[in-house]
Amino acid sequence: MEKRYFGTDGIRGRVGTHPINVEFILKLGWAAGRVLGQGSGAAHGCASVAGGRTPGATKVLIGKDTRISGYMFESALQAGLSAAGVDVCLTGPMPTPAIAYLTRTLHAQAGIVISASHNPYYDNGIKFFSAQGTKLPDDIEHAIEAEIEQPMQTVNSSLLGKAERVEDAAGRYIEFCKSTIPAVMEFKGMKIVVDCAHGATYHVAPDVFDEMGADVIRIGVQPNGLNINTECGATHPATLQKAVLEHKADLGIALDGDGDRLIMVDHTGEIVDGDELLYIIACSRQESGNPPSVVVGTLMSNLGLEQALKKIGIDLKRAAVGDRYVLEMLQQGGWVLGGESSGHIICLDRTSTGDGIVAALQVLAAMNTSGRTLHELKKGMTKYPQRMINVKLARSFDLAKSKDVQDAVQDAQVQLNGKGRVLLRPSGTEPLVRVMVEGADAHQVDALVKHLADVVTHALN
C-alpha cells in the first residue's frame, strides 16, 4: 500500500508547507505516540495509551540538526507525544546516526530526528528509528499514517508524557564512535581537516578525531540556523578541497548536515566518493582476514566499483537508490557492508545505520594498518566517467509512458555498446528526475547525458 506522507527517508519538505508545518508535526507526534505507546503497552503488559497506561512505559528520543526550524518542530513533536502519554528525551543538535545509537542504548521505544539531511535550511523533515536503531518497518509507518487521520485526543492529565534533556548525549556518542576501531589505534602526526557543514556534527566530529590524536582543522562548525549545507560539507566538497591544500593536510573529511553522509579528500585535493570509500573499507576488511562476500551498492554505484571488487573476489549487489534499501538488502542477505556513491556508508558490523563519522574512522584505520595514504588506497579502483543531470519536475510524470524518452534511452544504450549504463529515476526526496549516463568514454558520456536531459525536459513540457 502506498504511503501518503513517508518517503524513502522519512517525511521531508519545505518549512511552512504541508506536511512540514506546525499543525501537522504536532499531529504526527501524537499519532506516533499512539502507535508506539500501544506497542509498548503490549510489551509491558499494560493498557494502550488510549485507555490508560503505566507512566514511563513508553519513551521516545528526539534529536535535531542545526536548522532554525528545528526549535519549532521539536516543541511540536514534544507536545504531540506528551498528549499521547509518551515520555520524551531531548538531545538537542545531534547527528542522525547518534540518535540511532542512543535510542538503542537508552532503551527508548523509538528515536526521532528533525532534519532534512543535505537539503538547504528552508527544508526540514522527520525521520524515525525503531528501538533497535533501524528505520521503522513499513507496517509501523502505515499505522502512524492511519492514526494521523483520526481526531486528536489528549490522555488524562495524570498520564501525560514528561520531558527531560539528555545532558551527556554528545559524550556518549563520541565514545561509541571511537569504540568502532581498535582501542590501541591512534592518529598522532596526522593532520585532518573536518568540515561539519554547519550541521549536527559541529560539536561532535572534530572532537572524535582530536581525541584520537590527530591535528584537527575545524571548518563548518559555526551554525547559525541558516547556513547548514551552504557551500560546505559533503554536498559542496570544493570548500574542503581548498582547505586541505591550504593547510597541507593529510586528508579531509566532509559530513552533511545530519552526519550520515561522508565524502573525503586526499592530500592531493582529489575527492574520494562513497564508491571509493566502500572499496577501501572492503579491502581493509579482506586484509584483516574478515572479507565480506558481498558489498551492497545501488543502481547509481559506479561500474568501476563493481569491477574492482570482482578482482578481489567480492560481489556487488545493487539495491534501489536510498540508504533504506541498501540497509534492507544487507539485512535480508546477512551482509554487513554497503553504501551509496553519495557517501552513505553502512557498516553493520559496527553500527545499525549509515554513519559518516564511523565510516571515516574505518578508512583512517585502513590507512593506519596499511601504512598507505588515502590517495594510494583508492588507486585499486578506477571509476568509469559518470555524469548526472537533475531535471526539475513541475508535475508528476511517468517516464515509462513517454515514447520519445524511451527511444532516446534505447539509442544511448546502443551507442554505449555494452560498455556503460543509462539510468533515469525520480528522486525520492526532491521534485527531480535524475538522468545518469556512465561509460568508458567521457566525451560520449557528456554528450549522451545532455541529450537525454533535453529529451526528458521536452517531454515534461
Catalytic residues, which ones? 117
Give the alpha-carbon dihedral of 208, 212, 216, 220, to 10 degrees: -10
- For residue 221, the tally of other CB atoms under 10 A from its CB is 17
Rounded distance, CA 94 to CA 175, Å? Answer: 14
Amino acid present at 139 = D
Amino acid present at 245 = L
Of 73, 68, 12, the residue nearest 226 (C-alpha): 68
Q: Dig out the grid coordinates for 107 from the structure.
A: 532503551
Cβ density class 263-278: b for 16+ within 10 Å, e for less: bbbbbebebbbbbbbb
Exposed, middle or buried by CB within 10 Å (0-12, 13-18, 19+), for 432? middle
Rounded distance, CA 453 to CA 455, Å? Answer: 5
Within 8 A by CB and 6+ apart from 398, the residues are: none
Of 30, 42, 43, the residue nearest 112 (C-alpha): 30
Backbone angles phi, psi at 319, to 5 degrees: -100, 170
Asked if residue 116 lies in contact with residue 278, where contact means CB atoms within 8 angstroms, the answer is no
DSSP secondary structure of 412-427: HHHHHTTSEEEEEEE-
